[in-house]
């Protein structure tokens, strides 16, 4: 219901506006309500922004909250407020000082954000975020990462570094370091699947699966299966 209301209110605010804004090279645009915002190069959006789509290729700074049906950022993006979208994908370096909320959220690279909420969540790379709330959540770590309380139906935590060449023995043999995922706690309704990553924090789930050097350094509530 709240989603339908959000869409309705957004549509009302768009009446009579609906323009397209493009920054090619470098430039600054005022916040407002637009149909589409495209930045190719280096751009700044000064103020709160609402749009059907936001696309960045290069670097961008958003000085305010961003609300859009679709957000795509490739490069370096910084948001001084919150980001709310139906679908959001980021690659490169992303900073969200407020809450990052999207039905479908995919991040590849580095992410720093406050609270993160998504129905389908995939974070790949390294990240430092606050509390995470998701339906399905997958974390692929290339380096040590941090999160607050992680709540989801199912959680997968994997190392992105070595693929099949993971695990304690292989990491020692080749001098590789197993990534560490520091959390206050992970709570999953069903399964927490850990592969080639050390989780520092408590884990609460029906079943916790540990694969290829996966380890939990904290209290585990639920059955444990090692492979």
Q: pLDDT by residue (tens digit) across 30-83?
A: 999 999 999 999 999 999 999 999 999 999 999 999 999 999 999 999 999 999
Closest Cα to residue 171, out of 215, 107, 124? 215
Cβ atoms of 102 and 85 closer than 8 Å: yes
Quick: pLDDT tens for 120-166.
999 999 999 999 999 999 999 999 999 999 999 999 999 986 554 44
């Amino acid at each position: 219901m709240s989603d339908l209301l959000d869409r309705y209110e957004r549509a009302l605010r768009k009446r009579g506006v609906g323009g397209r804004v493009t920054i090619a090279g470098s430039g600054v645009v005022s916040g407002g309500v637009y149909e589409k915002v495209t930045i190719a190069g280096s751009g700044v959006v000064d103020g709160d922004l609402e749009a059907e789509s936001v696309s960045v290729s290069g670097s961008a700074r958003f000085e305010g909250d961003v609300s859009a049906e679709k957000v795509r950022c490739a490069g370096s993006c910084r948001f001084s407020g919150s980001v709310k979208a139906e679908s959001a994908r980021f690659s490169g370096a992303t900073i969200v000082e407020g809450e990052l909320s999207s039905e479908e959220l995919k991040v590849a690279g580095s992410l720093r954000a406050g609270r993160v909420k998504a129905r389908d969540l995939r974070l790949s790379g390294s990240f430092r975020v606050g509390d995470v709330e998701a339906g399905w959540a997958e974390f692929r770590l290339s380096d040590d990462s941090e999160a607050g309380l992680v709540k989801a139906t199912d959680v997968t935590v994997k190392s992105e570094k070595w693929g099949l060449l993971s695990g304690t023995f292989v990491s020692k043999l080749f001098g590789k370091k197993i990534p560490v995922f520091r959390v206050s706690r992970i709570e999953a309704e069903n399964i927490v699947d850990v592969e080639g990553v050390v989780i520092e924090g408590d884990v609460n789930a029906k079943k916790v699966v540990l694969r290829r050097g996966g380890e939990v350094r904290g209290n585990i509530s639920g059955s444990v299966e090692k492979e």
